[in-house]
């Protein structure tokens, strides 16, 4: 409890009292390092808990989601289509290229594209750009959109097909049978997976995020502290670069808190700029008030 009170007091004074920084001059460098990391860990934990709660809220929705997903797959899979694995490659019983589209009331989900999937077992992946389709299935690859929204990514299915018996075929009836058989298992497993993810977000993500943010700020503060150090020298303050850097670690409270406070608003970009301006103004006041004689 004493450590909690010490941190709370340090946090508040670092945020609001320029005069407090006089005490930092006599504190160990490790004190400021531990303080900043703890602050970042607390904020990362708060964010992680928020995400974790949102993930946990998905658990009651699993049955409806699985039911909707199953109905969508069965509805979308064409009645006449039969996919067969022959010589570890996909073949079909339809004229290709074969287009699979969404129902009229769902087409807006992939607009401006026209097709959900195009099957062209002998086609070239380079044709993907001209097909106006979300996905392209060739004899041994699945082509999906790239991250930039214009390029594409080719996912090889060779290893997957190697595990499936040659001659295996899939029809709408077969798909429905598979989905009916796997649904009870997914109903049991999916909630447990979400619980594990929810816990892992707090236990793993929070410290990793805090550690990464901590390292970034340590590096970022090097040139910033140099600027403050040179300004202190011009103002004839007798302070070392090491102590200027330590004071800056404490002063990071301002941009960290402001970035967190405005992180959920549309003004985040402006808030980041304003937070650093506030940091420089605050640190200028701190350096002026220091007694370095």
Place of tokens 């018996």: 165
Is 64 within the bounds of a domain?
Answer: no
Q: Note whether 202 and 45 are within 8 A (CB).
A: yes
In this predicted structure, what is the pLDDT of residue 242? 93
Place of tokens 């077969």: 174
In this predicted structure, what is the pLDDT of residue 11? 92
Is 47 within the bounds of a domain?
Answer: yes
Same-domain status, 36 and 92: no
Same-domain status, 158 and 232: no
Is 178 within the bounds of a domain?
Answer: no
What's the pLDDT tens digit per position in 195-252?
A: 999 999 989 989 999 999 999 999 999 999 999 999 888 888 888 999 999 999 999 9
Domain span holding position 282: 2-57+195-289
Is 62 within the bounds of a domain?
Answer: no
In this predicted structure, what is the pLDDT of residue 274? 85
Paired sense of beta strands 83-86 and 115-119, if any? unpaired
What single string gives the DSSP state of each residue in 168-213?
-EE-HHHHHHHHHHHHHHHHHHHHHHHHHHHHHIIIIIHHHHHHHH
% of residues, the chain, pLDDT over 90: 48
Higher pLDDT among residues 291 and 79, named by residue: 79
Q: Edge-to-edge, what's the strand order for the sheet holding 83-86?
A: 89-92, 83-86, 169-170
Asked whether residue 82 carries a pLDDT value surpassing 90, the answer given is yes
In the chain, count of helices (H) and strands (E)? Answer: 10, 8
pLDDT level of residue 189 (50, 70, 90 thresholds): very high
| Three-state secondary structure of 124-176 | CHHHHHHCCEEEEECCCEEEEECCCCCCEEEEECHHHHHCCCCCCEECHHHHH
Compute CA distances 191 → 48, 63, 182, 186, 187, whole Å. 19, 9, 15, 8, 7
Is 63 within the bounds of a domain?
Answer: no
Average pLDDT over residues 107-122: 87
Is 175 within the bounds of a domain?
Answer: no
Domain final position from 170, 187, 216? 170
In this predicted structure, what is the pLDDT of residue 265? 62
Strand partners, 169: 84
Q: Note whether 252 and 279 are within 8 A (CB).
A: yes
Please give the structure tokens belonging to residue 49: 């808990």
Is 32 within the bounds of a domain?
Answer: yes
Domain final position from 154, 170, 186? 170
Please tell me the distance from the alpha carbon of residue 74 to that of residue 172, in angstroms, as a whole number: 6
Same-domain status, 157 and 88: yes
Phi, psi of 139 (to 5 degrees): -65, -30
Q: Note whether 139 and 89 are within 8 A (CB).
A: yes
* Residues whose CB falls within 8 Å of the CB of residue 164, separated by 6 or more in sequence, listed in order: 85
Asked whether residue 44 carries a pLDDT value surpassing 90, the answer given is yes
Q: Note whether 22 and 289 are within 8 A (CB).
A: yes
Cis peptide before 97 (omega within 30 of 0): yes
Same-domain status, 140 and 213: no
pLDDT level of residue 264 (50, 70, 90 thresholds): low
Average pLDDT over residues 115-127: 87
In this predicted structure, what is the pLDDT of residue 43? 93
Lowest mean pLDDT among 21-30, 58-67, 159-168: 159-168
In this predicted structure, what is the pLDDT of residue 269? 64
Please give the structure tokens belonging to residue 136: 């392209």
Compute CA distances 113 → 95, 103, 136, 146, 266, whole Å. 21, 13, 12, 15, 30
Same-domain status, 86 and 150: yes
Domain count across the chain: 2
Q: Note whether 247 and 36 are within 8 A (CB).
A: no
pLDDT level of residue 149 (50, 70, 90 thresholds): low
Domain final position from 114, 135, 170? 170
Asked whether residue 147 carries a pLDDT value surpassing 70, the answer given is no
The pLDDT mean for the chain works out to: 88
Is 66 within the bounds of a domain?
Answer: no
């Amino acid at each position: 409890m004493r450590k909690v009170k010490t941190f709370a007091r340090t946090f508040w004074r670092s945020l609001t009292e320029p005069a407090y920084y006089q005490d930092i001059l006599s504190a160990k460098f490790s004190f400021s390092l531990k303080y900043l990391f703890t602050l970042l860990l607390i904020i990362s934990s708060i964010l992680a808990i928020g995400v974790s709660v949102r993930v946990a809220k998905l658990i009651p929705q699993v049955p409806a989601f699985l039911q909707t997903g199953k109905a969508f797959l069965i509805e979308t899979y064409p009645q006449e289509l039969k996919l067969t694995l022959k010589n570890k490659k996909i073949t079909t019983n339809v004229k290709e290229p074969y287009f699979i589209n969404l129902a009229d009331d769902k087409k807006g989900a992939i607009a401006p594209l026209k097709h959900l999937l195009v099957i062209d077992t002998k086609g070239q992946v380079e044709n993907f750009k001209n097909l106006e389709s979300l996905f392209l299935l060739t004899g041994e690859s699945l082509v999906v959109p790239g991250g930039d929204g214009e390029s594409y990514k080719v996912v090889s299915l060779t290893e997957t097909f190697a595990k499936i018996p040659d001659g295996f075929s899939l029809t709408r009836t077969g798909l429905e049978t598979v989905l009916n058989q796997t649904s009870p298992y997914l109903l049991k497993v999916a909630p447990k997976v979400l619980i594990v993810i929810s816990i892992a977000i707090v236990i793993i993500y929070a410290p990793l995020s805090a550690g990464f943010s901590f390292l970034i700020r340590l590096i970022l503060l090097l040139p910033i502290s140099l600027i403050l150090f040179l300004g202190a020298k011009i103002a004839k303050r007798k302070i070392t670069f090491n102590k200027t850097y330590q004071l800056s670690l404490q002063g990071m409270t301002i941009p960290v808190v402001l970035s967190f406070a405005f992180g959920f608003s549309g003004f985040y970009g402006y808030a980041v700029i304003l937070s650093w301006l506030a940091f420089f103004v605050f640190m200028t006041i701190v350096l002026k008030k220091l007694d370095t004689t």
